[in-house]
Amino acid sequence: MSKSEFEPRIVVFACNWCSYAAMDLAGTSRIQYPPNVRIVRVMCSSRVTPEMVLTALAEGADAVLITGCHPGDCHYLVGNYKTLARYTLLKNVLDELGLGDRVRLEWFSAGEGERFAQYVRSFVEEIKERVVNLQASTPEGGR
Amino acid sequence: MSNEPRIGVYICHCGTNIAGVINVEELTEFASKLPNVVIAKNYQFMCSKPGQEMIIEDIKQHKLSRVVVAACSPRMHEPTFRRCVQSAGLNPYLLEMVNIREHCTWVHEHEPDKALEKAKALVATAVARASNLEPLEEKELPVVKSALVIGGGIAGLFAALTLANSGVKVYLVESSPTIGGKMAMLDKTFPTLDCSKCILTPIMNEVANHPNIELLTYAEVVDVQGSVGDFKVKVLLKPRYVDPTKCKACGECAKKCPASAPNEFDMGLSKRKAIYLTFPQAVPTVYTIDPKVCLYFTKRDRMGRPICGVCQKICPAQAIDFNMQPKTVEINVGAIIIATGFETFDPRLKKEYKYGVSPRIITSLEFERILCATGPTGGKVLCPPDWKEVPKRVVFIQCVGSRDLTVNVPYCSKVCCMYTAKQAILYKERVPDGEAYVIYIDVRAAGKGFEEFYRRAVEEFNVTYIKGRVGEIVIDPETKKPIIRVEDTLAGCMIELEADLVVLAVGLRPSQSTLKIAELLKVSRSPDGFLQELHAKLYPVQTAVDGVFICGCAQGPKDIPDSVAQAKAAASAALEILAQGFVRTIGHVASVDKELCSGCGICVSVCPYDAIAIKVEDGRRVASVEDVKCKGCGSCAAACPSGAMQQRHFKDIQLMPVIKTLART
């Protein structure tokens, strides 16, 4: 499959207060981004468990993006620090499995609709490239 | 009746916002075939009365036990549809919304096929989640009928007055020794040329004397706990070293005080004593000692004794108290309004404008002080630093730190065009034979009487406007006067203009207090650095933090009338909560499956609100959640090793089907 044909599926976890609002703002401002992302709303990024991320990957998602408020801005005071701690542990495991580059953690404030769209554009491109390269280099197709 | 959920799916066209991009008929057809879906419909505006009535009718007729609405963001209409299903007898938490507008049709406008595919996935996800939703209860908690207003500028004053006049007890916290804010520093106000202090000081006095307002000046908010309806706030009162109940503001102390420092109120253009009153009409009218300058605090003799203390000796009211200590007071409020204002842009960041290199290059706020009767020159227009020469040619440069990506300020500061026109007029009034030039990118005069005011500057006062962005200012080595180099983009020629005085129309930046308070209260900031409102149009004074409101220049650059209007809006938004007398708790709180819980206590350690405790029940250690304290973040649910701790409405059995469906489709 060539890069242009392949459409990755990316599961995005968004916190209700900052990053989900940023995604809403991207919509209200009609900032276009690729339709490959599917957003799951939770109240705080700290609700996201490693099992959820692994389930998404196991069930067919090509990548997972966890998003939350910027450090210091968490609606629940310190939730995003817990997210960061969990992500760091999870990332170690994923790196061992060769899946480290498929899971990302990124902060978006409620005002960063444009930045979210930009991020998605480049993340989708990156995942496309990686998966297509992997498919070319492995007989099973790499997914 | 079986226990199988009966789901109704309602797809909104939102006019053409959704239906103009994707085929809603196909989406409805798709939804009707999903498991447990009894009925699927689409309609032009689901939020309209007929739309809602359709849902209510269907709930009754088809005995629906779950409702899925695919429309806009739940942040918009979830409350609407929750009320809608509730009126049909369904628990409001049995509604699930699918955001196919903000997260789909609006952001994939040019890819209708892919957008439809995504909308199908999102609807399938919502249906999968809806099947596992559970009814939840909300509680009503009492509200403390008092408010905290942070910032004593014009916005904070009006917010406080509006609340106080409505019968609410208000604590007004101001970090400087007096209320009044930046407006107190201005000479006149555009476009009416009202004397700034003449219209401000009566308001300051009204605030100070209001029985419902407790003024906490020279104070800072240092800690905020609790939440909407019941905030517990710690305020640090800095020591003035002058007893406010005794000081009569006679000023004898300042006359004798030997130490001085640059006067902040005059932007450093004059000096003030170590013991000072910010300006004659300051409220409270109480002197303050600056311990960084005062010789009592800074210098000791060989015996280790303070070398000065003259104010204490001569004060007729015996108001001086060098032993005064910082004091923390605790207050309890139901709502908080942030009105922490702005700072002006630091023109040193525009090196080519040579601010700080020549005393003849000043900021607009400095020029405002020169124009002002209480300023360093008593209102005479003279050149700093020796105040002898009357400037015969004044050049105003606009957009210094506004609309300038080289200093990372993309936005327009909104007030500079008009205050520059005002300052040019005031200059020409006082120096009729002088020349005033304004170098501008665009003149933005949108506002009542603004265009007329700008035309007045040009036509009545002969102010010369030159369109262009100043390239640089050089200092003439002989005359030491600044020479402005600019391309006149209308005439298409380079101009060199020697000036006696250059006034940089500096833009507005969020103040340091605004940044601090945003962090303390967890209020988001927009990319420009100012405080982020909950919704740009519908909730312009609300924030994502319930019970916290914003107004004035802390929210973004604006002029005095806009600040006043927004302050009153913030006060009325706070009143909605305070007058109602109660707040509703959330339903999506944590809950424990006591059978599964091993009492390990990990949940206790991650809870930011102390809402969980380990209790012994029937001889076993189990976690127990205090619903009222829980804010519903779900952190404990993610940390629980056994799955005993769950967040209602976001349980594993509710989220996992969502993740699986999204990952597969």
Over the stretch A78-133, which tens digit does the pLDDT of each residue have?
Answer: 899 999 999 999 999 999 999 999 999 999 999 999 999 999 999 999 999 988 88
pLDDT of B427 higher than 90: yes
pLDDT of residue A135: 78
Does the residue A141 lie in any domain?
Answer: no
pLDDT 10s digits, B329-345: 999 999 999 999 999 99
**Upstream peptide bond of B284 is cis (omega within 30 degrees of 0):** yes
**CA of A71 to nearest chain B CA: how many angstroms apart?**
10
Of A138 and B539, more confident: B539
Please report which confidence band the pLDDT of residue B227 belongs to, taking 50, 70 and 90 as the band edges: confident
Half-sphere exposure of B124 (CA within 13 A, CB side): 20
| A131 and chain B in contact, CB less than 8 A | no
Interface test with B, best of A6, A12, A46 (most B CBs within 10 A): A46
Interface test with A, best of B107, B530, B545 (most A CBs within 10 A): B107
**CA of B590 to nearest chain A CA: how many angstroms apart?**
11
Does the residue A143 lie in any domain?
Answer: no
pLDDT of residue B537: 83
| Cα–Cα nearest to B591, from B544, B652, B502 | B652
Question: Are the C-beta atoms of B415 and B558 separated by less than 8 Å?
Answer: yes
Does the residue A139 lie in any domain?
Answer: no
CA distances from B282 to B197, B278, B293, B318, B332 (A): 11, 6, 21, 20, 27
Count how many pairs of residues, chain A against chain B, have C-beta atoms within 8 Å. Answer: 155
pLDDT of B660 higher than 80: yes
Does the residue A76 lie in any domain?
Answer: yes
Does the residue A35 lie in any domain?
Answer: yes
- Which tokens hold the place of B81? 């549809």
Q: Which residues contact B308 (CB under 8 A, 6 or more apart)?
A: B258, B259, B294, B295, B296, B299
pLDDT of B624 higher than 90: yes
Q: Which of B26-30, B81-85, B503-507, B609-613 has the lowest mean pLDDT?
A: B609-613
Instruction: Supply the range of the domain harboring residue A28.
Output: 10-130
- Residue at token pair 């020629």: B493
Does the residue A4 lie in any domain?
Answer: no
pLDDT of residue B546: 87
Cα–Cα dist B204/B573, whole Å: 23
| Cα–Cα nearest to A133, from A37, A5, A1, A8 | A1
| Cα–Cα nearest to B404, from B552, B528, B514 | B528
Q: Do A27 and B106 touch (CB under 8 A)?
A: yes
| Cα–Cα nearest to A37, from B655, B70, B118 | B118
pLDDT of residue A3: 65
Does the residue A58 lie in any domain?
Answer: yes
Q: Do B115 and A35 touch (CB under 8 A)?
A: yes
Does the residue A140 lie in any domain?
Answer: no
pLDDT of B481 higher than 90: yes
Q: Chain B partners of A27 at a C-beta cutoff of 8 Å?
A: 73, 101-103, 106-107
Please report which confidence band the pLDDT of residue B1 belongs to, taking 50, 70 and 90 as the band edges: very low
- Paired residues of B43 in beta bridges: B12
pLDDT of residue B139: 86
Q: Do B660 and A59 touch (CB under 8 A)?
A: yes
**CA of A13 to nearest chain B CA: how many angstroms apart?**
9
Cα–Cα dist B167/B121, whole Å: 52
| Cα–Cα nearest to A73, from A115, A21, A37, A139 | A21
Kindly state the average pLDDT of the residues A20-48. 96
Kindly state the average pLDDT of the residues B531-543. 89
Kindly state the average pLDDT of the residues B335-357. 97
**CA of A75 to nearest chain B CA: how many angstroms apart?**
6
CATH number at residue A87: 3.40.50
Across all residues in chain A, what is the average pLDDT? 92
- Residue at token pair 């990156």: A126
pLDDT of A2 higher than 90: no
Question: Are the C-beta atoms of B40 and B126 separated by less than 8 Å?
Answer: no
Q: Do B107 and A27 touch (CB under 8 A)?
A: yes
Q: Within the 50-109 window of chain A, which residues sit less than 8 Å (CB to CB) from chain B?
A: 52, 55-61, 69, 72-79, 82, 86, 109
| A110 and chain B in contact, CB less than 8 A | yes
- Portion of chain B with pLDDT greater than 70, in percent: 100
Across all residues in chain B, what is the average pLDDT? 95
Q: Do A69 and B524 touch (CB under 8 A)?
A: yes
Number of domains composing chain A: 1
Parallel, antiparallel or unpaired: strands B590-592 and B645-647: antiparallel
pLDDT of residue B538: 84
pLDDT of residue B261: 97
Q: Do A38 and B125 touch (CB under 8 A)?
A: yes
Q: Which residues contact B255 (CB under 8 A, 6 or more apart)?
A: none
